[in-house]
Every structure is written in C-alpha cells, then in structure tokens.
Chains A and B, each alone.
Chain A
Amino acid sequence: MTRLRALRPALGAGAAGLVLACFSHPTVAAAIVSALGETPRRALPLDHLGALALHHLILAGTGLVLVAITGIGLGILATRPGAASVRGGIDTLAAAAQAVPPVVVVALALPVLGFGGPPTLLALVLYGIMPTLRGTVGALEAVPAETREAAKALGLTARQTLTRIELPLAAPAIVETLRTALVLAVATAAVGALAGAATLGTPIVAGLQNQNTVPMLQGAAATAALAFLCDALMVAAAGLLRR
C-alpha cells in the first residue's frame, strides 16, 4: 500500500503522457487536423512512428547512461577532500555550459561527427553532464557533516563512508537530478532530427518544411508523450527511493 502511495506523484505526468500518445495515433491526429479545418494529408503510419519512438528512446537512454556515469562519477570525485579547489570552478563551468543551447551543440558536433545519431549523442552528453555533476555535488554536500564525522568515528573507511552513508543519503536528490537530465535528453534527441537523426523530431521538422500538419502534430504529440512518460518513470523511481 505504501509502495502504491509512493507512486502517486507520477500519476499526473503518466496520464498526460498517455493522452498525448493517443493524439499521436494516425487516425486521431488526422481527426484533429480536419477539426482544425484542414483537409488532412498523408499521416505517419503507426509502425513507422513506433520505430522512430524506439530509436528516440534508445538515443536518449544511451545518452542518459553516459551522462549518469560521467556526471555522478565526476561529482563523487569533486566532493572528495583533495578536490576542494575544483568545486568553485564547477559552478562557473555549469553556468557557462547553460549558455550554450542544445541546438548549438548539435550544430557544432555536426561537422565533426557527420549526420545522424553521433552528433546528437555528443550533444546529449555534453549538455547533460554539467547539470548532473552540479546536482550530484549538491546532493553529496547536503549530507550533514556530523553524519560523516560519525561514520569516521565508527571506523568506516572513506570508501565505506561513500557507499554506505553518503550515496544512500544523497540518492533521492541524485535521482531528481537524473530526472531533469532525462527530460533534457528526450528534448535534445528531438532537436537531433535537425542533424539527421531518426527520432520523433523528424516528422516535426519534415512537417514544418513541407507544410504537412498531420505528421507534425503526430511527432509533436509523440515527443511530448515520451517526455512525460519518462518523467513519470523517474518520479516513480524517486518516490520509491524516498519511501
């Protein structure tokens, strides 16, 4: 029962995701477009949409895994006692990285890595690392100093303090950071359509170019649906951890 209650905050985002997913169905999207007074042109078939969604999810998921490994790893390193001088630089660097929008990262990676998935993946990782690193540092720094002292007094080694005390206490906040990173990853993967990656952004970009409203609407609804469902998943994970 308590487990179910922990999942409740995820319900809103999950429901929004499911409703939007219905909007992306070819029949529904065509109906919406004709309700807007336009004679609907060719809709994107369901299997094609599914393949794009899968590719989108794989791209965003791979990006998230890479971001989580590097961001959390570097965050742990930065909070070790020897690295105090680097920590001020992290905030500056994170603020500077925020000044570079994901589109620009995708665009800059394009000449280096060519069209398709790789530039998008690079943008995903570059854009996600700094917020994750900063969030991890914040989460670990929020562990009270007394708790750390107590662990030391109990005779735990630095490694044991990290794995048994600091990380479990910081876990909910780190998952919250990863939630933001996943939503960012889904959005950046959509932008990757501009660099030729086959994602749910592709029908949007193509639809904007040749004025075809139905696939544009399908892509938009499906991308948003995916973002909401991923968000719901992470909210649920955070809820279960915090229980």
Chain B
Amino acid sequence: MTPATEDRRGGIGPPLFAAAFLGAVYGLPLVRIAKNRLVVGEPVYALDGLGALPGFGPEIEAVAGLVLGAVLLARIGRTRIGVGAATVLLALALALLMLALGSTAGDLLAGEPPAARAGLASGAWTALLLLAGGLAHLARRMAVPGLGGALAAAFLGFVALAGSTGTLGSLSLAIEFAARKDAVGEALVRHLLLSGSAVLLAVGGAVLLSLWRRGQGLVEVLVGGIQVVPAVALLGALVAVASGLLRAVPALREAGLGALGPVPAVIGIAAYLLLPLWRGLALALAAPDPATLDAAEALGLPPRTILFQVRLPIGAGILLGALRVACVQGIGLATLGALVGAGGLGGIVFDGMAQFAPDLILLGAIPIVALSLVVERTLSLAEDRWRGTPA
C-alpha cells in the first residue's frame, strides 16, 4: 500500500480521535462537586442530567455532534474547504463545551454552601485537551501561516470574555485565579526571568566552551555527564556549595547573594542547557560545506567576516533549533527553582501540593505548559522560516 492511498482513506487517526472524545465525555466524570477546595468531590457525569438529578443539558450532545461532524468532514472532504469546515466545527465544539461546563458548574453549586467548589474532572480535561490537539492538527494541515497563532489568540480572547461575563466564574480554577491574580502575574514574570537568564548564561557558557578547541573531548564528557545528574540533586548540591562559599567569602553575602534564591537556581538550570546549545553551536559551525568556505577564503574574506557572513547565516537554522530545545527545557526546569527559594510558577505548584489543593496546582501548572508550548511553536516557526529562505 502506498502512502498516498493510505492518506486518502484517512487512516485510523480520525475514528480513533472520535472514539477517544466520546469515551472521555461519556465515560469519565466531567465535573466534581466538593464541600471545599481541599477535598476530592463527588463526580458528575454527562448523562446525570437526563434523570431527575441536576446536571448537564443537551449541550454535551451538541458538542459530541459537532465533533463527529468535524471528524466526518476531515475524513470525507480531503479538500482545503473540508478541513477548514472541520476546524470551524471543532472550534465551536470547544467553545460550547467550555460554556456548558461553566454554566452547569454554576447550576450544580446553586443550592450549596459558599465553600463548595466545582472542579473540572478527568473527562472534561481529556475532552478539552483532545479538542485543542485536534484543532492544532487541523490548523497545521490547513498550512495557512499564522492560523495556529490566531486560533490560540481567539481561544484566549474567548476565555477572557467568558471569564469577564462570569460564565466560567463558578469553576474552582477561576475562583483560585481570582484570589491570586497578582501573585500569578508576578510568578509568571519571575519564571520568565529565571529561565531567560539561565538561557543567556548557558549561551555564554556554550560559546566559551566551543572556543576551547583542544578540550572538546573533555567538554563533551562533562556537559553530557551533567545531563545524567537529576536536577533535584544538582540544585541541592549547589545550595550546599553556595552556603560554604558564602561563609568563606562574606563579601559575597554583603553583595546581596544568598545560598538560597535565584542565583543557585539560574546556575543549576543553565548547567542543563549547556548540552543542547554547545552541540547546536558545533553542528552549526560545521554546517557550511568545505567548498563554500574555500570559496570565501579564496575571495580573501577575513576570518571574522567568514564567521559572521558565511558560517553563522548558514548554520542559523540549527542554532535556532538548539535555542528552542534549551528554552523549553529551561522553562520546565525553572519550575524546580522554587525548591531553592527562587520563586516562579513552581512556587504556586508547590503551594498547591503542600495544601493538597488540586486547582492551585493547576493554576501554576497551566501557565508553565502554555509558556513552553508557545515558546516551542514560535521558535520552531522561526526555524522553518529561516531554513525555507536560504541566506
């Protein structure tokens, strides 16, 4: 069977997607109603509203219909119009599902005491993730530049609008967010600062390491060895060493440095980013073929000009790829920075773990995941664009 016939039949992807979606919506609980924010609540299923019990109305069936329609369109109409229509249907399904979850949560809480909470349950999360993933997949197949970004922006706008009108306000996550709006914003900025400075430090370190031409073998062993050390262990060891160093050189403490805080966190994170950046740099510098370099030399270009006008432009795609890997890793590792008192979104996650409050954990976790996805997509788009237009 050739790939072409495989592709025309659509394969097992779309039916698998539909089955997973229906299974999540009808087989798993959509929301949980709890007495307060700390306990795990009673599950509410999509079909609970059919009987005398309060629950979901026909919105869920409408959402399921939209998703099935989108799957059929994507499977039958292989044209751009078919895929575009499927994208619209999925986007509508996502919006409708969120509205249904928000309003049903409000209905279910109506007679409950004020401390009661309605949290999204596994079925709702799975369904939302599937819809978001399906939309991302369709947007990529449409191959319209900027469509993915536009969809993401439209989603954020929709959440903000629904949030401001109070439709989503009954959900526990929204209540946690309303209580800590400023803290979340501050943590987000701090998280970006932590991972950003770690990436900058690692870029500097990788450049210095690749300048040491004779020691590349040793550098490879060291930089690769760091990857084996678990981050929790490296951070712990850094704090131990830093406190010793501060005792030996008290002037450092007066300069505002501490054994705990952003300094050990940034150094620890940067240590892990050395490998992708150093390797990317080496590959990028080796990217131009020898004939090009010979030609540049024959033209009498000085080495500096060759580096900046020949080697780096040709290797820029590889460099951007290395930077993308380092940035995504840095954002993830910065979560652990809160362990050594560096703050950031990890602090919110750890607070949630300490209080055993699921929605507080999510309040820290969602921005981390969103941040990594945005950085990953943006840099890989830049990478594609650079590779698409050879310098």
Contact = CB atoms under 8 A, between A and B. Distances in A.
B56 to A, nearest CB: 22
B7 interface: yes
Given A100-B368, A108-B362, 9 more contacts: A36-B245, A37-B247, A81-B1, A93-B133, A98-B328, A103-B346, A104-B369, A220-B236, A228-B228
A205 B365 contact: no
Contact of B240 (A12, A99, A205, A217): A217
Interface of B: 1, 3, 6-7, 10-13, 16, 40, 122, 133, 136-137, 140, 221, 225, 227-237, 239-241, 243-245, 247-248, 260, 328, 331-333, 335-336, 339-340, 346, 349-350, 352-353, 356-358, 361-362, 364-365, 368-369, 372-373, 376
A191 B346 CA distance: 13
Most A-side CB within 10 Å, residue of B221, B240, B339: B240
Contacts of A36: 240-241, 243-245, 247-248
Interface stretch (A62-70, A83-91, A130-138, A156-164): A83-91
B228 A108 contact: no
Interface stretch (A140-148, A170-178, A193-201): A193-201
B230 A104 contact: no
Given A85-B7, A107-B353, A220-B236, A38 B243 contact: yes
Interface residues of A, number: 55
A221 B227 CA distance: 15
Nearest to A99: B372
B333 A96 contact: no
Contacts of A120: none
A228 B6 CA distance: 44
B240 A220 contact: yes
A95 B6 contact: no
B232 A82 contact: no
A169 interface: no
A208 B350 CA distance: 14
A92 interface: yes
22 contacts: A13-B228, A38-B247, A81-B1, A86-B12, A92-B133, A93-B133, A98-B328, A103-B332, A103-B346, A104-B349, A107-B352, A110-B361, A183-B228, A187-B232, A204-B235, A207-B236, A208-B236, A216-B236, A216-B240, A220-B233, A223-B229, A224-B229
B232 A223 contact: yes
B356 A111 contact: yes
A183 B332 CA distance: 17
A103 B7 contact: no
A107 B233 contact: no
A30 B229 CA distance: 21
Given A36-B240, A108-B365, A217-B240, A205 B230 contact: no
Given A86-B16, A193-B232, A183 B353 contact: no
B362 A85 contact: no
